[in-house]
Amino acid sequence: MDIPRPTAGRQARYTRRGPVPQDVVSADSFDVAAPAAGQVLVEVLAAPINPSDVLTLTGDYGSLPPLPAIGGNEGVGRVIATGDGVTAPRVGQTVLLPVGSGTWSTHLVLDAATLVPLPDGADPVQLSMLAINPPTAKLLLDAVPLQPGDWVIQNAANSAVGGYLVQLAKARGLRTVNVVRRDSAVDGVRALGADAVLVDGDDLAERVKAATGGAKVALGIDAVGGMATERLAQALAPGGTVINYGAMGGEACAMSPASLIFRGITLRGFWLARWFKTVDAGTRNALFAELVAMIAAGRLHAPVHATYGIDAIREAVAAAAAGGRSGKIVVVPTG
C-alpha cells in the first residue's frame, strides 16, 4: 500500500507553562521528516486531552517534560511510511502511540518497536483513550480482592476514569455507588450502568447505606481529595480501603482519626505512570489486550463532548479545563 508522505504538518507546541493552560499552547507548522531505519511515520488519527495534560501545561503535574514540548500523552495513528528494516507494523496499520510522545500533532516519527498494533476498523476516537484512563480504572478495581456482587464506591464518577470504572465493574458483576458533585451529572453516569448515583454531601454515608441496603463496601476510589476523601471513608465498612488517584477539588486528602484509628480505614495512592515503570511487558500487554478487545467490541466506551482540529488547540484545551462537560475533549489533528 502506497500512502503519500506529507512534507509539512501541524503540532500543538508550548515553550512555557502558566496558570491559564490555553494561553501557553499554540498550533505551529513543522517539517515532516522521513522515517530512518527502524522507524515509522505515523499520521495521528485522534488524541484526547486528559486532566494530566492540562496540569502539564500549568506546571502542576507530577512529571513534566523539558521545554519546548508538544502536548498530548496518548493517542492512536495510522502508519503511512516505514524506514529500512521495518517489517511491522505495516503501512496502513492502526497503532497505539507511546505514552508521552507528544500526540497533539498531525504526524510523528517513532521507533517501530514502541508501537502496539490495534484492530483496523475500530473507532479511532475511542481507541485513542486506551492508554491512560481504562487501565487506571481497571487497576483501581484490582486494588483489593473483590467478588461478584460486592459493592465499590467512587467519587468523580462522571469523569472519564469514573465512566470506565462503572462499565468494567459491571462486566465483573460488581456493583457501584457513584458520587458526583452536581445533579446534572446523575443521568449520564446512570446510563453507563451504575447501580446507584448520589450527589456528594455531608450525609453521604447514610445515603450510601440506604442505597446498598446496608451492604459492606470495602473499596472507595477517590479522585477529589479534601473532605470528599473522608466522606468516602465514612461510607466504607471497617477495615476498608480508600485509593486516591487525583485531587480535582484542589485540596490534599483529609481523613479523620476516627476513620484511621477506630475504623481501621487505609488510605493509599495510585499513579499509573509508576505502575508502568514497575511491571513487565507481558503484564502490560495483557492488560492492553483485554481493554482493546472490549473497546473494539463496543463493550467499553467513553462519552465524547467534542472533537477539535489541531488549529483549534487553544479552544480545545480551554474546553478540557472547564467544568460541566458531558464527555471527553479529543483532538483530531487532521480534522
Domains and CATH numbers, the chain: 8-129+302-331 (3.90.180.10), 134-273 (3.40.50.720)
Mean local confidence (pLDDT), 302-321: 96
Judged against a pLDDT cut of 70, whether residue 299 lies above it is answered with yes
pLDDT of 1 reads 57
Residue 112 in this model has a pLDDT that exceeds 90: yes
Is there a contact between 319 and 51 (Cβ–Cβ < 8 Å)? no
Least confident of 59-63, 191-195, 238-242: 59-63
Calpha distance 156→176 (Å, rounded): 13
* pLDDT above 60 for 322: yes
Which among 14, 61, 245, 308 is annotated as catalytic?
Answer: 61
Euclidean distance between CA atoms 247 and 46, whole angstroms: 27
pLDDT score of 326 more than 80: no
Neighbours of 192 (CB within 10 A): 21
pLDDT at 308 over 80: yes
SS3 state at 177: strand
Is residue 2's pLDDT more than 80?
no
CA dihedral sign, ordered 103, 107, 113, 118: positive
pLDDT score, position 36: 96
Mean pLDDT of 313-319: 97
Cell numbers of 223, please?
479522585
Average pLDDT over the chain, rounded to whole?
A: 95
Band of the pLDDT at 27, cuts 50, 70, 90?
very high
State phi, psi for 217 to the nearest 5 degrees: -120, 115
Residues in the chain, how many? 335
Known active-site residue 245: no
Report percent pLDDT > 70 for the chain: 99
Buried b (16+ CB within 10 A) or exposed e, 77-88: bbbbbbbeebee
pTM, entire model: 0.87
SS3 of 155, please? coil
